[in-house]
Chains A and B, each alone.
Chain A
Amino acid sequence: MLEITDLHAEVAGKPILKGLSLTVNAGEIHAIMGPNGAGKSTTGYVLGGRPGYTVTGGSVTYDGQDLLALEPHERAAAGLFLGFQYPVEIPGVSNVQFLREALNAQRKARGQEPLSGGEFLKLAREKAGLLRMDMDMLKRPVNVGFSGGEKKRAEMVQMGILDPKLAILDETDSGLDIDALRICGEGINAIMRKPDKAVVLITHYQRLLDYVKPDFVHVLAGGRIVKSGGPELALTLEREGYEAVV
């Protein structure tokens, strides 16, 4: 589904990714772990197409197409979802209006009919319920006044509504208390653990992986994957630290 080959990228002229390669197949969950400054968030932003993150070499193929040639909204319509480490506040724009417009824009790009207001609200209510989020919160402006944990749960509600094929989740576990961590973990499983979908979890810690069991764990350091293994690698890292492994 996703084939990253020898990816090089820089931010403000500073090289961050230096030869990152990774293959993700449908039905798989991958965890990318690594110390601060390793390039974890940059990986997410480059895949999402954030302006200012310049690819200087390598390739990314997603579902047989050149992902890097697509605009951010085209990547979303193609089924990519980027979960933000710091979800952005958009004053004045309600979650419901934003997500309905976003979903219908994606559907239009895929040649599907738009969802009516009623159909959309039914879908939103179902996904909000999955993340135990009150519908009233979805009527409020996007992320404005939400706590750190509420923002992350709202991200997962967005993911549920948009129903992507590939989710790149950047530190979804940061800022979560124990209960919210479990709710988000269960949400990720319910929405994304399917034979035709895949997830890349970017995280510092093992704890999210207790709920979302990865098939593969990779260590990112110095802008490239330096070690890959099964779920046991995350436990080794937690016990021995990155320095012992990198």
Chain B
Amino acid sequence: MSASPLPTRKDEDFRYADLAALERVWPVAVETIALGAGESRALVIVPEGGQVARQLAITLAPGARFDLRVLNAGHAYGRVALDVRLEAGANFTLGAAQVGGGAEVLEIVTNVVHAGPDAQSRQVIRSVLGGQATGTYLGKVLVARGADGTDGEQSVRAMLLERTATANARPELEIYADDVKCAHGCAVGELDATGLFYLESRGLPPAQAKRLMLQAFLAEAFVGAEAEEELNAAALAALEALL
């Protein structure tokens, strides 16, 4: 169990956090995952509980591959924070979907360090937020000196079902190597009205048309996962609870 003090707003990772909610779950035990050279593993995290925070420290030895998928949905407060360290040629995938309504607060916080050369990290975050819910992604990718050949990607998109919902997205890059490919994109939007009308004009009732589009949107986080089907079904159940 970590004995660290409760973070404050000065701490960048917690700037957007619901500190009152965090206090109720603090301190958070750090779960350690260490993959040896060339090792490969997949993990699915679906946090449980009304107030829940998970903190993972992941180290990937040279050539290791780790595929992590997260469904963060239906918590008054749900937070998943990751510290990831990639050695040479390691590969890290994060696909995370957040689905929240009411006054829920959902947070994904990542700190990915490319410590060795030629490693790849790919993060895809998709959030659907209704009511007064808040969905946050804070993601930092640090490319250390000498970590040439790094390939890092952050794709962050959020869909607001109501204007009262909030999405925070803050992808961040810190690069100390020369030969690096790092892409990041982020967008917050609403469902495309023309697309909805198109689906409705074919006979889908509005709620079903919405659900179909959002289902497809969230599925982007789970493409290629071993448990893709189960994750999509769980995301759909979370969506249906929201709509």
Which positions in A face B, CB cutoff 8 Å? Answer: 48-51, 71-73, 75-77, 82, 84, 87-93, 97-99, 101-103, 105-106, 109, 141, 158, 162
Contact A106 B203 (CB under 8 A): yes
Q: A98–B195 Cα gap in the complex (Å)?
A: 12
Residues of B within 8 A of A51 (CB): 193, 197
Q: A246–B6 Cα gap in the complex (Å)?
A: 77
Residues of B within 8 A of A162 (CB): 202-203
Q: A141–B217 Cα gap in the complex (Å)?
A: 12
Contact A105 B193 (CB under 8 A): no
Residues of A within 8 A of B216 (CB): 90-93, 141
Q: Is B129 an interface residue (CB 8 A)?
A: no
| Neighbour of A90 across the interface among B193, B199, B200, B201, CB < 8 A | B199
Q: A232–B192 Cα gap in the complex (Å)?
A: 42
Which positions in B face A, CB cutoff 8 Å? Answer: 192-195, 197-206, 208-209, 212-213, 215-217, 219-220
| Neighbour of B219 across the interface among A72, A88, A92, CB < 8 A | A92
| Neighbour of B203 across the interface among A73, A88, A90, A93, CB < 8 A | A73
Contact B219 A102 (CB under 8 A): no
Contact B217 A92 (CB under 8 A): yes
Given A48-B201, A76-B202, verify A92-B195 contact (CB < 8 Å). Answer: no
Q: A105–B201 Cα gap in the complex (Å)?
A: 12
- Residue among A72, A91, A102, A106 with max Cβ neighbours from chain B (10 Å): A72
Contact A73 B198 (CB under 8 A): no
Q: A89–B216 Cα gap in the complex (Å)?
A: 12
Contact B198 A93 (CB under 8 A): no
Question: Closest CB of chain A to B240's CB: distance in Å?
Answer: 14
Residues of B within 8 A of A88 (CB): 192, 194-195, 198
Given A90-B216, A93-B212, A93-B213, verify A72-B194 contact (CB < 8 Å). Answer: no
Given A92-B220, A93-B213, verify A77-B195 contact (CB < 8 Å). Answer: no
Closest to A143 in B: B198
Question: Closest CB of chain B to A60's CB: distance in Å?
Answer: 16
11 additional A-B residue pairs with CB within 8 Å, beyond A73-B200, A73-B206, A93-B216 = A51-B193, A72-B200, A73-B203, A90-B195, A92-B213, A92-B216, A92-B219, A92-B220, A98-B202, A101-B212, A105-B203
Closest to A92 in B: B216
Question: Closest CB of chain B to A156's CB: distance in Å?
Answer: 13
A-B contact pairs, 25 of them (CB 8 A): A48-B201, A51-B197, A71-B200, A72-B201, A73-B204, A76-B201, A76-B202, A84-B201, A87-B198, A88-B192, A90-B199, A90-B213, A90-B216, A91-B216, A92-B215, A92-B220, A97-B212, A98-B199, A98-B204, A101-B204, A101-B212, A102-B199, A103-B203, A106-B203, A162-B202
Question: Closest CB of chain B to A5's CB: distance in Å?
Answer: 23
Q: A77–B208 Cα gap in the complex (Å)?
A: 14
Residues of A within 8 A of B195 (CB): 88-90
- Residue among B201, B206, B209, B216 with max Cβ neighbours from chain A (10 Å): B201
Residues of A within 8 A of B198 (CB): 84, 87-88, 90
Q: A88–B198 Cα gap in the complex (Å)?
A: 7
Q: A133–B120 Cα gap in the complex (Å)?
A: 39
- Residue among A84, A92, A106 with max Cβ neighbours from chain B (10 Å): A92
Closest to B216 in A: A92
Q: A106–B216 Cα gap in the complex (Å)?
A: 22
Q: A72–B196 Cα gap in the complex (Å)?
A: 10
Contact B201 A101 (CB under 8 A): no
Contact B203 A76 (CB under 8 A): yes
A-B CB proximity, top 8 nearest: A92-B216, A76-B203, A106-B203, A88-B198, A102-B202, A72-B200, A102-B203, A93-B216
Question: Closest CB of chain B to A147's CB: distance in Å?
Answer: 18
Q: A99–B217 Cα gap in the complex (Å)?
A: 18
Q: A161–B217 Cα gap in the complex (Å)?
A: 26
Q: A51–B196 Cα gap in the complex (Å)?
A: 10
| Neighbour of A99 across the interface among B192, B202, B208, B219, CB < 8 A | B202
Contact B212 A109 (CB under 8 A): no
Contact B200 A98 (CB under 8 A): no
Residues of B within 8 A of A48 (CB): 197, 201
| Neighbour of A101 across the interface among B192, B208, B219, CB < 8 A | B208
Residues of B within 8 A of A105 (CB): 203-205, 208
Q: A82–B203 Cα gap in the complex (Å)?
A: 11
